Chain A
């Protein structure tokens, strides 16, 4: 049996005396899409950062495809789209994609393809500083997807996207899933996430209070999960 795409075992993360994550354990198989839900401060970003190799867990272990996340080969297959867009304002779209792409071995042809995909070819050589919010988000998506990652980690990707951008992102995520990539996305926009997700997890004050299949009930009623598994506060 091949290794799970993502395996978290007994993960704790402390910031000083505050436990941001408490004994988080779950497994995701390749090709699954996990919607990570939870209120602000529940620990979604912290968990994603540990899965992406940006932070170390205080206790417990994380394995990506059976390997340590800090190994270079593992990180080559991870795509990260964090809270901020992760782009250099003073460089152009093309330069941004080339800079990050060169760390993953992305060819120039692929970069041009992606600029086309996210509709930014016409402004590809203007500095990102001059872009609108939606354009920056689309470029960030290109940056995260261009190297064909097998694991995509997205932290509230739908926030402040316009409708066109949301549709674009959903299309790209569906395409990625279709090619067998594993996706974990944390979000407040439950409806968009539920449409994509095959699994759902709810974090409440650092604890994983629910992890399971995405059900029809969840798809119909956005608040169902919070009401059923969340705490009273």
Chain B
């Protein structure tokens, strides 16, 4: 399908650019580690406390880091007006969006995978006991962030105060994805499988992803043609 081919071209371009300059990767990684550190000072958590809110803590770190990454998504097209070349190309707004969301997802997921061992070391948590489940939930939550974040990045790319406005718009909308992600991550960090009464969270997270991916793909063209 042409749309997927175009999206793949955009995604690989974004990733190549990012790995070449390492602008966001470096700052986001250090930012994440700093937040993990600050939380240790704020709560000085005991192992029991970590069981209670380890998942929540991780996702707060991911969400803050996520804001940095998604902000770059369309901002990187502003120098030299590359966005104009992309919009005038045969690539549809939907494929532009999908490509960028995918690139943001890959970057974020990579950063999260690095954060996990750091979290494990700083807070003395064995996080790998249900690794496949954990990574699955991380992936779902990260896609939600990438999808909504990159879409709103397209909405706000030309505005002043973009860096401040983007998190303000994204976080409240993202709550129905972050809440389940936190709940599920909490359980999975303890090594247990997801209990049956938690399955609603998984369904909610998947439902959110389906709904917002569809909305974003559908509305991307409207947003990108000024």
Asked, given contacts A55-B225, A90-B17, whether A82 binds B84 with beta carbons under 8 Å apart, the answer is yes
Q: Is B179 an interface residue (CB 8 A)?
A: no
Q: Quick check: A78 and B92 within 8 Å, CB to CB?
A: no
- Contact string against A for B residues 65-77, beta-carbon threshold 8 Å, 1 for contact and 0 otherwise: 0000000000000
Q: Quick check: A52 and B80 within 8 Å, CB to CB?
A: no
Residues on B with beta carbons closer than 8 Å to the beta carbon of A85: 80-81
- Complex-state Cα separation, A102 to B11, whole angstroms: 12
Q: Which residue of B20, B21, B82, B92 has the most chain A CB atoms within 10 A of its CB atom?
A: B82
Q: Quick check: B225 and A102 within 8 Å, CB to CB?
A: no
Q: Is B203 an interface residue (CB 8 A)?
A: no
B70 to chain A, nearest CB (A): 19
Number of interface residues, chain B, beta carbon within 8 A: 25
Number of interface residues, chain A, beta carbon within 8 A: 31
Q: Is A167 an interface residue (CB 8 A)?
A: no
Give how many A-B residue pairs fall within 8 Å (CB-CB): 76
Binds B, one of A69-77, A184-192, A195-203: A69-77
Q: Is A233 an interface residue (CB 8 A)?
A: no
Q: Quick check: A75 and B89 within 8 Å, CB to CB?
A: yes
Q: Is B162 an interface residue (CB 8 A)?
A: no
Residues on B with beta carbons closer than 8 Å to the beta carbon of A1: none
User: Which residues of chain A from 91 to 130 have any CB-CB distance to chain B below 8 Å in the complex?
Assistant: 91, 95, 99-100, 102-104, 127
Asked, given contacts A80-B84, A86-B84, A102-B9, whether A70 binds B79 with beta carbons under 8 Å apart, the answer is no
Closest to A136 in B: B80
- Complex-state Cα separation, A90 to B80, whole angstroms: 12
Q: Is B90 an interface residue (CB 8 A)?
A: yes
Q: Is A148 an interface residue (CB 8 A)?
A: no
Q: Which residue of A73, A82, A83 has the most chain B CB atoms within 10 A of its CB atom?
A: A82
Q: Is A88 an interface residue (CB 8 A)?
A: yes
Given contacts A72-B92, A91-B16, A99-B9, 19 further A-B contacts (CB under 8 A): A54-B87, A70-B221, A70-B225, A73-B90, A75-B88, A75-B90, A78-B88, A82-B84, A84-B81, A86-B84, A88-B17, A88-B82, A89-B79, A95-B16, A102-B6, A103-B86, A103-B91, A127-B20, A143-B85
A-B contact pairs, 9 of them (CB 8 A): A49-B84, A80-B84, A83-B81, A84-B81, A90-B17, A90-B21, A91-B16, A104-B89, A104-B90
The chain A residues found within 8 Å of chain B, CB to CB, are 49, 52-56, 70, 72-73, 75-76, 78, 80, 82-91, 95, 99-100, 102-104, 127, 143
